[in-house]
């Protein structure tokens, strides 16, 4: 018997499956990531996953919660993957471990575990790392074919685990500032946008390589939408608002403000729209709440990217908007059956 | 083609209906005994009018309606009343209730019925009276006395909605009834329409019942009914909920706490319409109904079974399979697990599912809510179940009410889709019962406070009245003294009699005299008729007292 009370049947769907679908949806983006930047990201993801599961088990055990059912829900894995994708490819192993451990233990379990954390754990991990170890957080590998030097996989592993670079190589030679960062610094040096975009790191829409990875995440987003794992509200409102805000600035002064598509396909915009903002635990539950939340996140992202000091704005925009979630939920309660405005 | 409306949410659980629609409705065998609860309807429990040992005929009244909102209960067959006592009944509470146990004599002999060929000629109050005394109640599950719903209200009823949607999985009793007895259903509907002065009739049937739709449509055409439409509605759970069906057919949303009749709509189950016809045309009380027996049985099918038939006897006729763990009355979404397999089926029993671990596997342990809002997506009442869950869990009942807890129809769609396996509906039932309990407690406290306040005010009033009386006496005495003084001061005018001058004074005087007389007349009762022994004792005591007084006097004098 499924219990003493109805309903006696349930739909065969579990949190574990949902999370698995989301992980699956990340694969196109990760595959393109590997294609352009080499397999180091897979090492980061693996490392983050092992750390996340270990810390999750430990935290559950300390709190005397059932370890197996919660460990199997795949939520820790998702946090690990998202964090690994957010930090630079060439990150030393401990950076990944510290970030993941903080995300799982402090920002998830100390707030009560799955379902109770007010802040997106992966973004908290990212914020901690970028504030504590800013230098390490800039070591983004240049995509294949950009810059003179490229690192082999073993070279990448050597750096990640032993901090060693091959003879004759410096970090500056193999890493680069992100396209968004480059844009900002170049603009500060009074370059014109069209000149900046002619630099080799830029591709068709945004950063070379990065734009494809973003496309991969967009594809994954469509999968989530097709599987009805996310509603349209968050991604559409986020990308739409970002497009609109960037578009207004661009129209107003195209020489100093990049085109909206560059913003959509740069940094973590696509990852954020489909995989980070859509974390159900830390986003509003009502349709209108979702729209406001996503629009706010887009505005903050744009402001941080263009006028702020950090290379990308997704993480802080997400965290800041996370604060507003209880308020948005309370404010945007939909009208219930039979109690709507009279329709004539 | 009529425009249909949609309601928010809904789910598509496996329907599991075809298993029990393969064979026609079968007349169930007469059981060894019948256990007929006296409370099968909304309202007051029927009052038993028979005693243990009485012989009753089929259709004989055994419980009369008690009060305005109540319904009659009848003997389902002829036989002897074995007992009238508390028995487990088919109810969610699992508590025992007053039941009549009837041992059939096998003759199945009807009481003399009062058929009516020409019901149109009867006054409407008479028709309602027949329905009430025939124990006709809503057979869709709500078991609300039908006569109470068949008034022409102060609000004009435009639309009469007939519910043949049958959205719950497994249940097929209405489907089969419509397939086989469409004409009689329509005759009953016509009676309902007359009683309600309703303009149009909309019969909603889910589109997974093409045979029933065809049969009903054919009957409408054959009968030449005007403004009566059979409408195929989309198959979606809970599309057969009254509010949902009304919404789909008319576009009207009936909010919680609002009567659909205020919005010009009344809704009945098709099975009820059939019973209305039988009751008025043939005078047959509601003593049987069509019930689906399905689940863990070899031959799932529908029975026309007598009210009171023990469920295990009925399920046995469909060949119960081993591994049956219990019976669910109703469907798997809103059904109720029976407290025992022997409980008698009641008017609300539309379906009995023999459950097994295979059919309904054990629930997985509930995990944390991840706020995925699948529940909100499917909620037909457009609630935010995840918020309600949060408030109910925290016993934050005020907040739960603010978030429209009482608009929840307990359809279970939220629990069905929850990926964390949280028994959401259970939380809402709990919160509702907590609030009811609180309100009952508050009412009791209010009553106690009122009683206390009344008592206080009564004591206060009595004190005041006493004081006033005293004051009046005092004043009267003063007045009298003053008068006497005045009389003394003016002896010449003393010839005037006091009494004549002051009638009040006279009355008081008379009362005092009367009291004195009474006191004199009243003898000290406890000193009457004493035995010599007692008299001696008293004398002894008096002597002791005198001595003590003497001693005391001596002491003080010393």
User: One digit per residue, pLDDT tens: chain A, 344 residues?
Assistant: 446 788 999 998 899 999 999 999 999 999 999 998 888 899 999 999 999 999 999 999 999 988 988 888 999 999 999 999 999 988 899 999 999 999 999 999 999 999 999 999 999 999 999 999 998 888 888 777 665 566 788 888 888 888 888 777 777 777 777 888 888 888 878 778 777 887 777 887 778 888 999 999 999 999 999 999 999 999 999 999 999 999 999 999 888 898 999 999 988 999 999 999 999 999 999 999 999 999 999 999 999 999 988 878 899 999 999 999 999 999 999 999 988 865 44
pLDDT in tens, A200-244: 778 877 788 889 999 999 999 999 999 999 999 999 999 999 999
Task: Verify that A300 and A265 share a domain, yes or no.
Answer: yes
Q: CA-CA distance, A321 to A329, in Å (whole number)?
A: 12
Neighbours of B531 (CB within 10 A): 8
Task: Verify that A172 and A280 share a domain, yes or no.
Answer: no
Do the Cβ atoms of A7 and B332 come within 8 Å? yes
Both tokens of residue A265?
């396909």
Q: Can you spell out the DSSP letters for B37-57?
A: ES--SSSBPPEE---TT-EE-
**Where does B367-490+501-506 sit in CATH, by number?**
1.10.1060
| Domain membership flag for residue A77 | yes
Q: CA-CA distance, B176 to B404, in Å (whole number)?
A: 37
Is A314 in a helix, a strand, or coil?
helix
Work out whether the CA dihedral A32, A37, A43, A49 comes out positive or negative: negative
| Chain B residues touching residue A11 (CB < 8 angstroms) | 11, 13, 416-417
Q: How far is B141 from chain A (nearest CA, A)?
A: 15
| Domain membership flag for residue A337 | no
Sorted by sequence, the CB contacts under 8 Å of residue B375 that are 6+ apart come out as B385, B386, B389, B413, B414, B417, B418, B424
Residue numbers of B between 222 and 281 with CB closer than 8 Å to A: 243, 247, 253-256, 258
Evaluate whether B403 touches A333 at the Cβ level (below 8 Å): yes
Q: How far is B34 from chain A (nearest CA, A)?
A: 26
Task: Verify that A116 and A228 share a domain, yes or no.
Answer: no
State the residue range of the domain holding A324.
Answer: 177-330
Does residue B358 surpass a pLDDT of 50? Answer: yes
Q: CA-CA distance, B329 to B141, in Å (whole number)?
A: 10
Q: CA-CA distance, B91 to A87, in Å (whole number)?
A: 59
| Chain B residues touching residue A6 (CB < 8 angstroms) | 328, 330, 332-337, 412, 425
Q: In this predicted structure, what is the pLDDT of residue A177? A: 77
| Nearest beta carbon to residue B355 from set A1, A113, A286 | A1
Q: In this predicted structure, what is the pLDDT of residue A255? A: 85
Q: CA-CA distance, B39 to B47, in Å (whole number)?
A: 9
**Closest of B230, B82, B53, B72 to residue B136, by C-alpha:** B72
pLDDT in tens, B42-101: 999 999 999 999 999 999 999 999 988 999 999 999 999 999 999 999 988 888 999 999
- What number is the average pLDDT over the span B347-367? 92
Q: B504-530 burial, b if ≥16 CB within 10 A, otherwise e?
A: ebeeeeeeeeeeeeeeeeeeeeeeeee
Do the Cβ atoms of B404 and A9 come within 8 Å? no
* A341 and B CB contact within 8 Å: no
| Chain A residues touching residue B253 (CB < 8 angstroms) | 337-338, 340
Chosen domain end from A122, A144, A176: A176
Do the Cβ atoms of A14 and B364 come within 8 Å? yes
Pairing status of strand B159-163 against strand B200-206: parallel
Q: Which residue of B has its CA nearest to A18?
A: B419
Do the Cβ atoms of A5 and B425 come within 8 Å? yes
Q: What percent of chain B has pLDDT over 70?
A: 94
Chosen domain end from A123, A142, A176: A176
Task: Verify that A170 and A181 share a domain, yes or no.
Answer: no
* B312 and A CB contact within 8 Å: no
Evaluate whether B147 touches B275 at the Cβ level (below 8 Å): no
Q: How many angstroms separate the Cα of B413 from the Cα of each of B350, B370, B424?
A: 20, 17, 9
pLDDT in tens, B436-459: 998 899 999 999 999 999 999 999
| Domain membership flag for residue A257 | yes
* B9 and A CB contact within 8 Å: no
Look up tokens 């129809």; give the residue. Answer: B409
Task: Kindly report whether the peptide bond that precedes residue A7 is cis, defined as omega within 30 degrees of 0.
Answer: yes
CA dihedral B122, B124, B130, B136 (to 10 degrees): 140
Q: How far is A309 from chain B (nearest CA, A)?
A: 33
Sorted by sequence, the CB contacts under 8 Å of residue B255 that are 6+ apart come out as A336, A337, A338, A339, B407
* B333 and A CB contact within 8 Å: yes
Q: What average pLDDT does chain B have? A: 90
Sorted by sequence, the CB contacts under 8 Å of residue B246 that are 6+ apart come out as B161, B252, B254, B260, B265, B267
* B19 and A CB contact within 8 Å: no
> What is the CB-side half-sphere exposure of residue A254 using CA atoms within 13 A?
6
Work out whether the CA dihedral B44, B50, B51, B57 comes out positive or negative: negative
Domain count, chain A: 2
Interface-testing mutation among B370, B403, B407, B422, with chain A (most A C-beta atoms within 10 A)? B370
Pairing status of strand B34-37 against strand B96-104: antiparallel
| Chain A residues touching residue B383 (CB < 8 angstroms) | 336
Both tokens of residue A305?
């990217």
Q: Can you spell out the DSSP letters for B220-275?
A: HHHHT-SSEEEEEE---BTTTSHHHHHHHHH-----TT--GGGGTEEEEEHHHHHH
Do the Cβ atoms of B334 and A6 come within 8 Å? yes
Q: Give domain limits for chain B.
A: 18-282, 367-490+501-506
| Domain membership flag for residue A338 | no
Task: Verify that A261 and A301 share a domain, yes or no.
Answer: yes
Chosen domain end from A161, A176, A191: A176
Helices A40-62 + A93-102 axis angle, to 10 = 40
SS (H, E, C) A206-262: CECCHHHHHHHHHHHHHHHHHCCCCCCHHHHHHHHHHHHHHHHHHHHCCCCCCCHHH
Q: Which residue of A has its CA nearest to B94?
A: A4
Both tokens of residue B65?
């309606």
Q: CA-CA distance, A49 to A295, in Å (whole number)?
A: 31
| Nearest beta carbon to residue B417 from set A13, A15, A69 | A13
| ipTM of this complex prediction, to 2 decimal places | 0.88
Evaluate whether A90 touches A162 at the Cβ level (below 8 Å): no
Evaluate whether B252 touches B90 at the Cβ level (below 8 Å): no
Q: CA-CA distance, B135 to A159, in Å (whole number)?
A: 85
SS3 content of chain B, % helix, strand, coil (to 5): 45, 20, 40
* B326 and A CB contact within 8 Å: yes
Task: Kindly report whether the peptide bond that precedes residue B238 is cis, defined as omega within 30 degrees of 0.
Answer: yes
**Number of helices followed by number of strands (H, E) in chain A:** 17, 2
Is B148 in a helix, a strand, or coil?
helix
Q: How far is A42 from chain B (nearest CA, A)?
A: 28
Task: Verify that A250 and A184 share a domain, yes or no.
Answer: yes
Q: In this predicted structure, what is the pLDDT of residue A344? A: 41
Task: Verify that A120 and A199 share a domain, yes or no.
Answer: no
Interface-testing mutation among B17, B388, B394, B420, with chain A (most A C-beta atoms within 10 A)? B420
Task: Verify that A134 and A199 share a domain, yes or no.
Answer: no
Q: CA-CA distance, A326 to A323, in Å (whole number)?
A: 7
Kind and range of the H or E element at A330? helix A314-331
> Where does residue A201 fall: left (phi above 0), alpha (psi -120 to 50 degrees), or beta otherwise?
alpha
Q: CA-CA distance, B33 to B75, in Å (whole number)?
A: 12
Both tokens of residue B479?
């007045």
Neighbours of A330 (CB within 10 A): 14
Task: Verify that A167 and A183 share a domain, yes or no.
Answer: no
Evaluate whether A101 touches A51 at the Cβ level (below 8 Å): yes
| Chain A residues touching residue B330 (CB < 8 angstroms) | 6
Pairing status of strand A140-141 against strand A175-176: antiparallel
Residue numbers of A between 127 and 186 with CB closer than 8 Å to B: none
Task: Provide the strand spans (E) within chain A.
Answer: 140-141, 175-176
CATH: 3.40.50.11540, 3.30.70.2610, 3.90.1150.150, 2.60.40.2220. Which one for B18-282?
3.40.50.11540
Q: CA-CA distance, A33 to A41, in Å (whole number)?
A: 8
* A117 and B CB contact within 8 Å: no
Q: In this predicted structure, what is the pLDDT of residue B4? A: 93
| Nearest beta carbon to residue A339 from set B243, B255, B325 | B255
Task: Verify that A218 and A312 share a domain, yes or no.
Answer: yes
Task: Verify that A92 and A202 share a domain, yes or no.
Answer: no
Q: CA-CA distance, A1 to B356, in Å (whole number)?
A: 6
Both tokens of residue B232?
């195929």
* B355 and A CB contact within 8 Å: yes
Exposed/middle/buried for A274, CB within 10 Å: 0-12, 13-18, 19+?
A: buried
CB-defined contacts A:B, below 8 A: 143
* A113 and B CB contact within 8 Å: yes
Q: CA-CA distance, B286 to B290, in Å (whole number)?
A: 11
Rounded to a whole number, what is the distance in angstroms from the first to the last CA of chain A? Answer: 48
* A337 and B CB contact within 8 Å: yes
Q: CA-CA distance, B502 to A223, in Å (whole number)?
A: 108
| Domain membership flag for residue A33 | yes
| Nearest beta carbon to residue A280 from set B337, B373, B380 | B373
Q: Which residue of B has its CA nearest to A71?
A: B367
| Strand order across the B61-64 sheet | B47-48, B61-64, B73-74
pLDDT interval class at B245 (50, 70, 90): very high
| Nearest beta carbon to residue A13 from set B362, B369, B419 | B419
Q: What is the largest CA-CA distance in chain B?
A: 125
* B63 and A CB contact within 8 Å: no
* A69 and B CB contact within 8 Å: yes
Neighbours of A213 (CB within 10 A): 27
Kind and range of the H or E element at A160? helix A153-162
Neighbours of B221 (CB within 10 A): 11
Do the Cβ atoms of A336 and B337 come within 8 Å? no
Task: Verify that A241 and A273 share a domain, yes or no.
Answer: yes
Do the Cβ atoms of B362 and A280 come within 8 Å? no
Cα Rg of chain B, angstroms: 37
């Amino acid at each position: 018997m499924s219990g003493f009370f109805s309903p006696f049947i349930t739909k065969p769907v579990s949190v574990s499956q949902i999370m698995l679908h989301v992980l699956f949806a990340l694969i196109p983006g990760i595959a393109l990531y590997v294609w352009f930047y080499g397999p180091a990201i897979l090492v980061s993801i693996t490392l983050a996953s092992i750390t996340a599961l270990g810390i999750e088990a430990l935290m559950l055990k300390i709190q005397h919660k059932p370890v197996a059912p919660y460990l199997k829900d795949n939520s820790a894995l998702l946090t690990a993957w998202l964090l690994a994708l957010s930090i630079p490819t060439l990150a030393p192993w401990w950076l990944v471990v510290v970030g993941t451990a903080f995300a799982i233990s402090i920002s998830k379990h100390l707030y009560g575990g799955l379902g109770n954390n007010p802040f997106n754990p992966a973004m908290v991990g990212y914020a901690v790392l970028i504030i504590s170890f800013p230098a390490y957080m800039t070591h983004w590998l240049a995509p294949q074919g950009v810059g003179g030097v490229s690192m082999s996989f073993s070279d990448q592993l050597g750096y990640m685990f032993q901090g060693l670079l091959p003879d004759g190589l410096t970090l500056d030679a193999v890493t680069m500032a992100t396209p968004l960062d480059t844009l900002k610094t170049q603009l500060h040096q009074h370059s014109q946008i069209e000149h900046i975009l002619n630099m080799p790191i830029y591709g068709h829409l945004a950063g070379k390589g990065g734009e494809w990875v973003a496309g991969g995440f967009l594809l994954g987003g469509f999968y989530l939408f097709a599987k009805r794992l996310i509603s349209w509200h968050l991604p559409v409102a986020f990308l739409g608002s970002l497009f609109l805000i960037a578009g207004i600035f661009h129209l107003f002064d195209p020489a100093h403000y990049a085109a909206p598509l560059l913003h959509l396909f740069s940094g973590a915009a696509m990852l954020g729209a489909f995989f980070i903002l859509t974390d159900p635990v830390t986003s509003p539950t009502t349709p209108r709440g979702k729209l406001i939340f996503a629009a706010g996140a887009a505005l903050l992202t744009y402001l941080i990217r263009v006028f702020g000091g950090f290379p990308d704005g997704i993480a802080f925009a997400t965290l800041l908007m996370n604060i507003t979630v209880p308020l948005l939920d309370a404010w945007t309660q939909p009208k219930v059956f039979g109690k709507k405005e009279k329709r004539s | 083609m009529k425009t249909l409306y949609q309601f928010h949410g809904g789910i598509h659980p496996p329907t599991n209906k075809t298993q029990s629609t393969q064979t026609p409705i079968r007349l169930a065998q007469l059981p060894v005994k019948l256990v007929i609860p006296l409370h099968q309807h909304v309202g007051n429990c029927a009052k038993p009018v028979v005693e243990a040992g009485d012989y009753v005929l089929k259709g004989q009244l055994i419980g009369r309606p008690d009060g305005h909102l109540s319904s009659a209960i009848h003997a389902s067959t002829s036989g002897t009343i074995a007992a009238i006592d508390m028995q487990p009944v088919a109810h969610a509470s699992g508590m025992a209730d007053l039941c009549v146990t009837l041992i059939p004599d096998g003759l199945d002999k009807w009481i003399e019925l009062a058929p009516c060929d020409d019901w149109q000629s009867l006054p409407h109050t008479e028709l309602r009276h027949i329905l009430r005394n025939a124990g006709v109640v809503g057979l869709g599950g709500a078991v609300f006395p039908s006569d109470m719903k068949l008034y022409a209200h102060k609000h004009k009823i435009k639309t009469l909605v007939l519910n043949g949607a049958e959205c719950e999985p497994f249940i097929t009793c209405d489907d089969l009834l419509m397939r086989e007895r469409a004409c009689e259903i329509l005759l009953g509907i016509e009676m309902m329409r007359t009683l309600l002065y309703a303009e149009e009739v909309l019969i909603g049937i889910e589109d997974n019942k093409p045979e029933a739709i065809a049969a009903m449509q054919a009957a409408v055409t054959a009968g030449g009914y005007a403004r009566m439409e059979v409408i195929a509605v989309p198959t979606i759970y809970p599309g057969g909920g009254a509010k949902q069906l009304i919404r789909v057919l008319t576009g009207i949303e009936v909010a919680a706490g609002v009567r659909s009749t205020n919005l010009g709509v009344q809704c009945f189950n098709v099975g009820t319409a059939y019973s209305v016809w039988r009751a008025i045309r043939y005078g047959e009380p509601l003593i049987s109904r069509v019930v689906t027996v399905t689940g863990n049985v070899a031959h799932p099918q529908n029975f026309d079974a007598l009210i009171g038939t023990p469920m295990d006897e009925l399920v046995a006729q469909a060949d119960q399979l081993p591994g049956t763990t219990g019976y669910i009355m109703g469907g798997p979404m809103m059904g109720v697990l029976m407290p025992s397999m022997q409980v008698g089926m009641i008017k609300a029993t539309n379906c009995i599912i023999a459950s097994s671990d295979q059919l309904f596997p054990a629930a997985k342990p509930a995990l944390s809510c991840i706020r995925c809002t699948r529940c909100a997506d499917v909620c037909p009442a457009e609630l935010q179940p995840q918020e309600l869950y949060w408030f109910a869990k925290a016993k934050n009942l005020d907040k739960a009410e603010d978030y429209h807890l009482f608009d929840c129809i307990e359809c279970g769609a939220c629990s069905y889709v929850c990926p964390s396996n949280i028994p959401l509906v259970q939380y809402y039932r709990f919160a509702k019962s907590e609030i009811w309990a609180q309100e009952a407690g508050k009412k009791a406290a209010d009553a106690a406070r009122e009683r206390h306040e009344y008592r206080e005010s009564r004591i206060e009033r009595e004190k005041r009245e006493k004081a006033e009386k005293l004051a009046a006496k005092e004043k009267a005495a003063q007045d009298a003294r003053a008068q006497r003084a005045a009389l003394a001061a003016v002896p010449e005018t003393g010839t005037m009699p006091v009494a004549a001058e002051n009638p009040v004074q006279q009355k008081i005087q008379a009362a005092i005299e009367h009291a004195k007389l009474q006191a004199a007349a009243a003898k000290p009762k406890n000193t009457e008729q004493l035995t010599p022994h007692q008299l001696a004792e008293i004398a002894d005591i008096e002597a002791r007292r005198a001595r003590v007084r003497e001693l005391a006097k001596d002491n003080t004098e010393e």
